[in-house]
């Protein structure tokens, strides 16, 4: 089939475009960002994702993908127009629909025969119905038929290529039998169950999934906080929980809270549009609140441990919001840096793939080219992202290189016992403090 992706150089648009291309479709990745288009036309990637280079190479070697800023050609030459533009958070927490509305208007202006418009962007419930009106109002010839379909994307950054190519399921919201036939043909070669719903339910599936995943993360972070206070160990607790088949092991890693471009933004959007429909969502508001508390507690700890912070050197490992991606949108590491940037402390950072930050933060920190330079003579090491190379660090060497042996491990990647044994002051999330037994006699008596 002939498919255009509007927003085709973004995270979702590019992976969708390349994924459909290697499935044999002819894909036009259309985008307004010329720097990303130039990179792609030179065989370079604008984002970091495992296996994405191989996917780009396969799609381009087979002449199955074109990168362009020409929306007219993209619309006219395609049967399906997928829209994967950004739907960021606006100031009041609602979804900023401006990129989507503009894309719909532009697409509508070039529709010349029947098209299926598929919305991949995450959009509040009711947006497909609104999109239909926008397209209708902007068609050059009002007699031309078209359908609007919801097809939310569930890929995870860090595993995006594999997730797109091997989805657990494909959710599609359709309002006509014709568009259902088109979508079945589009995904015919994918080995995944397809769930067909009406457009509103499909839009809601995406929010329900992200709200559920966010809830699990906030839940385990809350359990971690209690564990620290009663001297129970989150690693042991998780072992006992994860083997319960009703619970499982995904999205139960204690840490600095969920970051990235989706979970918090989608939760806020859901709370906003639910509010308009008179649903208060107390549980999901608490999930968000807990998440904010998580990074605040870590920042408070850093500040309280580093007395006279202006004279200290802090080493921060990891800038992306999770391992496997260079995406720093809403990254807990960035929230931390913004806070300590206000002090006079010397901040040294290292991330395997993030080599730039937005100003003014970029000029405020020192980028090291390797982990050891970052750590050398530091008064505090803070691990913010769970990159595999950080897990492999030799703690004996780290101990010798640091000026003050203090580790704040927000991803629980190190062995606490080993760290304590070497003489570090070590703070994980939900980790038992071995000196607890000798200090908290009162709690011991209660227990
Ligand atoms: N990133 C994720 O992990 C993820 C996962 C699932 C769903 N989503 C959703 O997918 C959507 C896209 O997210 P993203 O992370 O890929 O965003 P992104 O910012 O990486 O990509 C959006 C792209 O759209 C382009 N664009 C904007 N307006 C345009 C226009 N009028 N014409 C052509 N191109 C235009 C931008 O230049 C950009 O390249 C969002 O709704 C997001 O919530 C994202």
From CA 182, how far away is CA 5, in angstroms rounded?
16
Q: Return the C-alpha torsion angle 216, 220, 225, 228, nearest 10.
A: 180
| Ligand 1 pocket residue status of 351, Cβ below 6 Å | no
| Ligand 1 pocket residue status of 85, Cβ below 6 Å | yes
Question: CB neighbours of 437 closer than 8 A, spacing ≥ 6?
Answer: 231, 444
- Of ligand 1's atoms, which has the minimum distance to the CA of residue 156? 3
Between 209-213, 299-303, 442-446, the lowest mean confidence (pLDDT) is in 442-446
Q: Phi, psi at residue 116, to the nearest 5°?
A: -105, 120
- pTM here? 0.94
**Bridge partner residues of 83 (DSSP):** 6, 119
**Bridge partner residues of 116 (DSSP):** 80, 147
Tokens of 388: 């595999």
Q: In the chain, where are the structural domains located?
A: 2-197, 206-262+270-284, 296-437
201-210 mean pLDDT: 98
Question: CB neighbours of 374 closer than 8 A, spacing ≥ 6?
Answer: 315, 316, 317, 348, 349, 350, 368
Residue 441 has pLDDT above 50, yes or no: no
Q: Indicate if 296-437 has the same CATH topology as 206-262+270-284.
A: no
Q: Return the C-alpha torsion angle 437, 441, 443, 447, nearest 10.
A: 80
Q: What is the pLDDT of residue 439?
A: 43
| Ligand 1 pocket residue status of 337, Cβ below 6 Å | no
Could you say which architecture CATH assigns to the domain 296-437? Answer: 3-Layer(aba) Sandwich (3.40)
Residue 350 has pLDDT above 90, yes or no: yes
User: Residues 15, 40: contact at Cβ < 8 Å?
Assistant: no
From CA 214, how far away is CA 211, in angstroms rounded?
5
Q: What is the pLDDT of residue 14?
A: 98
CATH topology of domain 2-197: Rossmann fold (3.40.50)
d(CA 328, ligand 1 centre) in Å: 15
d(CA 92, ligand 1 centre) in Å: 20
User: Residues 424, 407: contact at Cβ < 8 Å?
Assistant: yes
d(CA 156, ligand 1 centre) in Å: 14
Among protein residues, the one whose CA lies closest to atom 18 of ligand 1: 10
**Separation of CA 440 from chain center:** 39
| Ligand 1 pocket residue status of 86, Cβ below 6 Å | yes
From CA 403, how far away is CA 407, in angstroms rounded?
12
DSSP, residue by residue, 266-297:
HHHHHHHHHHHTT---HHHHHHHHHHHHHHHH
| Ligand 1 pocket residue status of 75, Cβ below 6 Å | no
Task: From the candidates 29, 262, 272, 380, give the one annotated as an active-site residue.
Answer: 262
For the stretch 258-313, pLDDT in tens is 999 999 999 999 999 999 999 999 999 999 999 999 999 999 999 999 888 889 99
User: Strand order in 170-173's β-sheet?
Assistant: 65-68, 26-30, 2-6, 80-83, 115-119, 146-150, 170-173, 194-197
- Domain covering 206-262+270-284 assigned CATH 1.10.10.10 in the classification: no
At which residue do the structure tokens 């971690």 appear? 224
Tokens of 78: 């395609």
User: Residues 228, 426: contact at Cβ < 8 Å?
Assistant: no
How would residue 442 be classed by pLDDT, with cut points 50, 70 and 90? very low
262 has catalytic annotation: yes
For the stretch 89-148, pLDDT in tens is 999 999 999 999 999 999 999 999 999 999 999 999 999 999 999 999 999 999 999 999
User: Average pLDDT over the chain, rounded to whole?
Assistant: 95
219-245 mean pLDDT: 96
For the stretch 372-431, pLDDT in tens is 999 999 999 999 999 999 999 999 999 999 999 999 999 999 999 999 999 999 999 999
Q: How many CB atoms lie within 10 A of CB 251?
A: 16
Which helix or strand (DSSP H or E) is residue 334 part of? helix 332-340
- Of ligand 1's atoms, which has the minimum distance to the CA of residue 7? 24
Residue 358 has pLDDT above 90, yes or no: yes
Question: CB neighbours of 289 closer than 8 A, spacing ≥ 6?
Answer: none
**Separation of CA 178 from chain center:** 34
User: Residues 89, 95: contact at Cβ < 8 Å?
Assistant: yes
| Ligand 1 pocket residue status of 207, Cβ below 6 Å | no
d(CA 331, ligand 1 centre) in Å: 17
Closest CA to 255 of 221, 299, 293: 221
Q: What is the pLDDT of residue 434?
A: 64
Burial code of 41-78, b = ≥16 C-beta within 10 A, e = fewer? eeeebbbbbeebeebbeebbeeebbbbbeebeebbeeb
- Of ligand 1's atoms, which has the minimum distance to the CA of residue 160? 3
């Amino acid at each position: 089939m002939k498919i255009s992706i509007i927003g085709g150089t973004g995270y979702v648009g590019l992976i969708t475009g390349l994924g459909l291309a290697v499935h044999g479709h002819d894909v036009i990745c259309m985008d307004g960002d010329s720097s990303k288009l130039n990179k792609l036309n030179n065989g370079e990637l604008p984002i970091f994702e495992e296996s994405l280079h191989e996917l780009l190479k396969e799609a381009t070697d087979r002449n199955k993908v074109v990168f362009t800023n020409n929306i007219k050609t993209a619309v006219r030459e395609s049967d399906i127009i997928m829209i994967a533009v950004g739907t960021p958070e606006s100031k009041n927490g609602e979804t900023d629909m401006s990129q989507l509305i503009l894309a719909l208007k532009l697409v509508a202006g070039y529709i010349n025969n029947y098209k299926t418009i598929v919305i991949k962007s995450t959009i509040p419930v009711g947006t497909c119905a609104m999109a239909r009106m926008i397209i209708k109002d902007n068609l050059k010839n009002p007699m031309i038929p078209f359908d609007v379909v919801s097809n939310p994307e569930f890929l995870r950054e860090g595993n995006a290529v594999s997730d797109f190519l091997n989805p657990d399921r494909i959710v599609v919201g359709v309002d006509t039998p014709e568009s259902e036939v088109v979508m079945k043909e589009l995904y015919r070669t994918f080995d995944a169950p397809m769930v067909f719903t009406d457009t509103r339910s499909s839009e809601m599936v995406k929010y329900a999934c992200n709200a559920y995943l966010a809830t699990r993360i906030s839940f385990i972070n809350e359990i971690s906080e209690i564990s620290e206070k009663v001297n129970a160990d989150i690693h042991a607790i998780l072992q006992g929980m994860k083997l319960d088949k009703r619970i499982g092991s995904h999205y139960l890693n204690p840490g600095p809270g969920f970051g990235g471009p989706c979970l918090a933004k989608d939760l806020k959007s859901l709370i906003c549009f639910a509010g308009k429909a008179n649903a208060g969502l107390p549980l999901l508001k608490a999930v968000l609140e807990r998440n904010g508390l998580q990074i605040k507690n870590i920042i408070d700890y850093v500040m309280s441990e580093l007395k006279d912070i202006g004279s200290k050197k802090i080493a921060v490992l990891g800038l992306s919001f999770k391992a496997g991606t260079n995406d720093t949108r809403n990254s807990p590491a960035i929230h931390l840096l913004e806070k300590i940037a206000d002090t006079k402390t010397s901040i040294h950072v290292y991330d395997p793939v993030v080599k730039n930050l937005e100003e003014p933060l970029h000029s405020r920190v020192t980028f090291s080219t390797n982990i050891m330079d970052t750590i050398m003579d530091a008064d505090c090491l803070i691990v913010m992202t769970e990159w595999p190379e950080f897990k492999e660090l030799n703690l004996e060497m780290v101990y010798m290189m640091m000026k003050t042996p203090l580790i704040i491990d927000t991803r629980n990647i190190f062995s606490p016992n080993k760290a304590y044994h070497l003489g570090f002051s070590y703070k994980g999330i939900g980790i038992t403090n071995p000196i607890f037994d000798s200090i908290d006699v009162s709690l011991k008596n209660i227990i």
